Amino acid sequence: MAAHATLPFSCSSTLQTLTRSFSSRGALQLRRGFRRLPSLAALPRLSRPCRRHVSASAAASPNGASSEGEYDYDLFTIGAGSGGVRASRFASTLYGMRVAICEMPFATVATDELGGLGGTCVLRGCVPKKLLVYGSKYSHEFEESHGFGWTYETDPKHDWNTLIANKNTELQRLVCIYKNILNNAGVTLIEGRGKIVDPHTVSVNGKLYTAKNILIGVGGRPSMPDIPGIEYAIDSDAALDLPSKPEKIAIVGGGYIALEFAGIFNGLKSEVHVFIRQKKVLRGFDEEVRDFVAEQMSLRGITFHTEQTPQAVTKSNDGLLSLKTNKETFGGFSHVMFATGRRPNTKNLGLEEVGVEMDKNGAVVVDEYSRTSVDSIWAVGDVTNRINLTPVALMEGGAFVKTVESKDEVATKQ
Ligand SMILES: Cc1cc2nc3c(=O)[nH]c(=O)nc-3n(C[C@H](O)[C@H](O)[C@H](O)COP(=O)(O)OP(=O)(O)OC[C@H]3O[C@@H](n4cnc5c(N)ncnc54)[C@H](O)[C@@H]3O)c2cc1C
């Protein structure tokens, strides 16, 4: 198991230390190589309008943080991922709301107590995945370059540890950027795990905060099937932060995440086997795309095993793993990865107690305005299990703020 990095919110010294650990040439290459990432720092700063003072029918803060008849905040957001940060930032900068957001300390692999500013996309999804995709695709270019007249004295070698160390440095930089974004937007950042106590109160590390509206933006985590030996398998969080590159990997799942990891490890010269339950990959995608992607990936040397349902993972004395399916047993894997879906982070969030309805998968049920079954509690992003993509979480966060704001305006006129 890898020793995963953790980072407190006050991260400037940690970042300096990390930066110093690279040579200046290494740091330059890192910056060049990673320059294609979208820079949040480059986003235009929004001017802050005068703050509206919200006084509503509230109980006094149990912290004694506000006077009677007021909430501590207009909006309290649980989870600083794509949706939560977008909503909080817009609520504060565009509408002058008093906003607080809570988020757990940083870790490359999420747990019940660890997460990090930026959320899945930035720390365990889109961003690190793309860095590994960039890293992996050079091998194909080296191969193709021969046809264009390039020759090399020796075959280029890849160093997995360098890629992962530089990826983690980049993540820590992004955590700091997110901290600055929230700070510049005037959003109060509270480190810790949030839990809803009542329709207007959130508890973080035992301290209570009241708010007129509460936004749930806690996202989701990888889910793996409950089969024998599943403890030997890894999920996508772990796959992005392995201590060594897989020699031979079984990837279970036919969705876009499974296939992207197959492409990454194939590019980095691992032997890759993909196991899917269906006849074809990418269920729900365009039929021609499904066929074309599978064909092209096969041509690159990825082996697909179709109509295979995993039943067990076993580990032999030599440390190698086998995957038993409904059809046969495949062995000799250094790693078995499951990319078989994600579940919403709604466990132990206080939702049942406060009456927020959830579906059978634990996703928060919302209406078209992202409102839950409790009037003052809202939810955006993956936790609602609508369309689990970053741009969707961002748009839902922005739309939620507009809804709350227009509702306030209507209420004021009445
Ligand atoms: C491997 C992978 C690759 C992906 N690639 C893409 C891609 O290329 N393009 C794309 O659009 N999408 C991609 N996604 C999906 C994308 O990451 C998510 O849709 C997006 O991050 C959802 O944002 P969110 O705000 O709903 O939740 P998240 O980003 O998951 O944020 C939720 C935050 O809440 C925090 N949290 C949880 N519980 C609590 C609590 N009780 N108290 C305080 N904080 C809490 C978590 O730590 C986390 O930081 C990918 C996902 C994965 C896993």
Per residue of the chain (414 residues), give pLDDT as tens: 344 544 444 444 333 333 333 333 343 344 444 444 333 333 333 333 334 434 344 444 444 444 445 899 999 999 999 999 999 999 999 999 999 999 999 999 999 999 999 999 999 999 999 999 999 999 999 999 999 999 999 989 999 999 999 999 999 999 999 999 999 999 999 999 999 999 999 999 999 999 999 999 999 999 999 999 999 999 999 999 999 999 999 999 999 999 999 999 999 999 999 999 999 999 999 999 999 999 999 999 999 999 999 999 999 999 999 999 999 999 999 999 999 999 999 999 999 999 999 999 999 999 999 999 999 999 999 999 999 999 999 999 999 999 998 866 655 443
Spell out a b/e string for 274-313, using b for 16 or more CB atoms within 10 Å of the CB, else e. bbbbeeebbeeeeeeebeebbeebeeeebebbeebebeeb
Q: Is 349 in the pocket of ligand 1 (CB under 6 A)?
A: yes
pLDDT, position 406:
84
Nearest in space to 378 (alpha carbons), one of 403, 361, 395: 403
pLDDT, position 389:
96
Superfamily of structural domain 2-222+344-406: FAD/NAD(P)-binding domain (3.50.50.60)
Atom number of ligand 1 nearest to Cα 194: 42
Domains of the chain, residue spans: 2-222+344-406, 230-340
Q: Is 393 in the pocket of ligand 1 (CB under 6 A)?
A: yes
pLDDT, position 322:
98
pTM: 0.86
Cα(82) to centroid of ligand 1, in Å? 7
Q: What span, in angstroms and rounded, lies between the C-alpha atoms of 220 and 49? A: 34
pLDDT, position 69:
53
Q: Is 80 in the pocket of ligand 1 (CB under 6 A)?
A: yes
Cα(119) to centroid of ligand 1, in Å? 5
Q: Is 120 in the pocket of ligand 1 (CB under 6 A)?
A: yes
What does each C-alpha distance from 323 to 98, 231, 337 come to in angstroms?
52, 13, 10
> In 3-state terms, what secondary structure has residue 248?
strand
Atom number of ligand 1 nearest to Cα 83: 25
pLDDT, position 308:
96
User: For tokens 């021969």, what's the residue?
Assistant: 146
Atom number of ligand 1 nearest to Cα 380: 26
Q: What span, in angstroms and rounded, lies between the C-alpha atoms of 167 and 134? A: 11
Cα(388) to centroid of ligand 1, in Å? 9
Side chain identity at residue 399, one-letter code: A
Rama region for 298: left / alpha / beta (φ>0; ψ in -120 to 50; rest): alpha
Q: What is the crossing angle of helices 12-20 and 160-184, to 10°?
A: 150
Task: Give the residues across from 7 on adjacent strands.
Answer: 106
Q: Is 219 in the pocket of ligand 1 (CB under 6 A)?
A: yes
Cα(28) to centroid of ligand 1, in Å? 29
H helix intervals, 62-159: 82-95, 119-124, 126-145
Cα(175) to centroid of ligand 1, in Å? 14
CATH of 230-340, one of 3.30.420.40, 3.30.530.20, 3.50.50.60, 3.40.640.10: 3.50.50.60
Answer whether 2-222+344-406 and 230-340 agree in fold: yes
